[in-house]
């Protein structure tokens, strides 16, 4: 399981790696930064060091100065950014931003897929950077000239808040969020009302209200600037001391801003306060990205099951709430 740490024990290796990739100083937006002066995060799997993120926080903003993953396809970059979003939010930052050059096609695709918005294109910005750092090459990936800077940002949910949502009078609101959020899943796995009528993408307000009417059921909404952008619910299960996390949903246009993690943390804390020892969830087994997302926060796979009514395998996962609580203390 991936974990993020402050990078002090690995700083020598990181500074050496940065020097190999970018040199001892990094030029962005006409400013030269000595990498040794700024904090860094490291991502590890067991004792294996997999990557780092160098950043600076100033004037209520967090800039990512450098990010590198040594192992592709293992969620290293995403895990680092998720942690950076969390820390920047806790520090009261209004945004996390970064600059990359026009030739860095892999990074441009990655940041946009993650949810960064293109804030600005700084035309011919590398001419100024080369006056500060002449060793910047003229040509980059696929023979493209290195000439312009692309500025990407994620606006942080510093004003987002979680509220309890009584499901009765709010069933249609909650169902609408769930349908929109899960429609992307339905599209990805070709689910329809005919082959999978029970999927959340097709849920009605009446069905959702019935599902969440059990005693001790808890429903939460995430509200940002007066609008509900996320929803999640907790259902008590037959096993004593356990809750099922269900219908965790974030609107597609609001993803990759830390909202899902906020909902997950709130549900875990709510379940823990109700005396639960574990949190359970069932997801589509073929959804590797979602499985990795939950695993990054401590969920472990416990079973795989097939149901006649479902055109996919269900992966069951659990979070040990007692262990999670001990870590936070």
Q: What is the DSSP string of 236-292?
A: E-SSTTEEEEEEEEE-GGG-SSSHHHHHHHHHHHHHHHTT-SEEEEEEETT-HHHHH
Orientation of helix 76-90 relative to helix 259-273, angle to 10°: 70
- For the domain that residue 215 is a member of, what is the CATH number? 3.40.630.30
pLDDT score, position 325:
41
Q: Using CA atoms, how far apart are residues 15 and 38, in angstroms rounded to an integer?
A: 11
pLDDT score, position 324:
43
Residues 130, 174 share a domain: no
pLDDT tens-digit series, residues 44-60: 888 888 889 999 998 88
Last residue within a domain, chosen from 155, 176, 197:
155
Q: Using CA atoms, how far apart are residues 123 and 99, in angstroms rounded to an integer?
A: 12
Does residue 23 have a pLDDT over 80?
no
pLDDT tens-digit series, residues 243-272: 999 999 999 988 877 889 889 999 999 999
Last residue within a domain, chosen from 111, 130, 155:
155
pLDDT band at 328 (very low <50, low <70, confident <90, very high): very low
Which of 114-128, 155-169, 190-204, 223-237 shows the lowest per-residue confidence on average (mean pLDDT)?
A: 155-169
Does residue 78 have a pLDDT over 80?
yes
Residues 123, 231 share a domain: no
pLDDT tens-digit series, residues 101-149: 998 898 999 998 887 889 999 999 888 888 888 878 888 877 889 889 9
Residues 321, 176 share a domain: yes
pLDDT score, position 294:
95
Residues 39, 7 share a domain: yes
Residues 133, 217 share a domain: no
Question: Position of tokens 């000439």?
Answer: 147
Pairing relationship of beta strands 117-122 and 149-155 according to DSSP bridges: antiparallel
Number of separate domains in the chain: 2
Residues 141, 222 share a domain: no
What is the three-class DSSP state of 140? coil
Residues 239, 307 share a domain: yes
Does residue 233 have a pLDDT over 60?
yes
Does residue 329 have a pLDDT over 50?
no
Last residue within a domain, chosen from 106, 125, 155:
155
Neighbours of 111 (CB within 10 A): 24
pLDDT score, position 49:
84
Q: Using CA atoms, how far apart are residues 29 and 177, in angstroms rounded to an integer?
A: 39
Measured in degrees and rounded to the nearest 5, phi and psi for residue 101 equal: -90, 160
Q: Using CA atoms, how far apart are residues 263 and 232, in angstroms rounded to an integer?
A: 7
Percent of the chain surpassing pLDDT 90: 51
- Please, what sign has the CA dihedral across residues 33, 38, 41, 47? positive
Average pLDDT over residues 179-198: 96
Strand partners, 164: 220
Strand partners, 43: 4, 51
Residues 187, 148 share a domain: no
Measured in degrees and rounded to the nearest 5, phi and psi for residue 286 equal: -75, -5
Residues 178, 118 share a domain: no
- 130 or 180, which is more confident: 180
Residues 91, 28 share a domain: yes
pLDDT band at 157 (very low <50, low <70, confident <90, very high): low
> What's the chain's average pLDDT?
88
What is the domain range of residue 262?
161-328
Residues 206, 65 share a domain: no
pLDDT score, position 327:
38
Residues 170, 137 share a domain: no
């Amino acid at each position: 399981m991936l974990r993020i740490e402050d990078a002090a024990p690995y700083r020598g290796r990181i500074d050496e790696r940065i020097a190999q990739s970018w040199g001892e100083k990094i030029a962005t937006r006409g400013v030269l930064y000595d990498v040794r002066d700024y904090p860094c995060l490291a991502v590890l799997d067991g004792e294996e060091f997999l990557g780092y993120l160098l950043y600076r926080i100033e004037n209520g903003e967090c800039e990512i100065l450098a990010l590198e993953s040594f192992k592709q396809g293992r969620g290293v970059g995403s895990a680092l950014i998720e942690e950076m979003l969390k820390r920047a939010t806790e520090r009261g930052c209004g945004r996390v931003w970064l600059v990359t050059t026009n030739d860095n096609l892999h990074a441009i695709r990655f940041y946009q897929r993650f949810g960064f918005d293109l804030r600005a294109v700084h035309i011919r910005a590398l001419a100024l950077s080369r006056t500060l750092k002449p060793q910047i090459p003229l040509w980059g990936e696929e023979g493209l000239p290195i000439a312009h800077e692309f500025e990407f940002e994620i606006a942080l949910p510093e004003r987002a808040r979680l509220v309890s949502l009584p499901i009765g009078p709010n069933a249609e609101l909650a169902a609408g969020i769930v349908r929109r959020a899960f429609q992307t899943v339905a599209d990805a796995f070709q689910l329809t009302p005919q082959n999978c009528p029970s999927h959340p993408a097709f849920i009605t307000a009446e069905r959702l209200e019935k599902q969440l009417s059990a005693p001790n059921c808890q429903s939460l909404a995430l509200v940002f600037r007066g609008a509900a952008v996320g929803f999640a619910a907790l259902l008590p299960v037959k096993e004593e001391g356990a809750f099922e996390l269900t219908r965790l949903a974030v609107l597609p246009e609001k993803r990759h801003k830390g909202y899902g993690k906020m909902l997950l943390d709130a549900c875990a804390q709510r379940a823990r306060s109700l005396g639960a020892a574990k949190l359970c969830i069932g997801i589509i087994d073929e959804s590797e990205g979602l499985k990795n997302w939950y695993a990054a926060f401590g969920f472990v796979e416990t079973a795989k099951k097939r149901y006649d009514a479902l055109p996919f395998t269900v992966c069951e996962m659990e979070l040990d709430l007692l262990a999670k609580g001990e870590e936070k203390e």
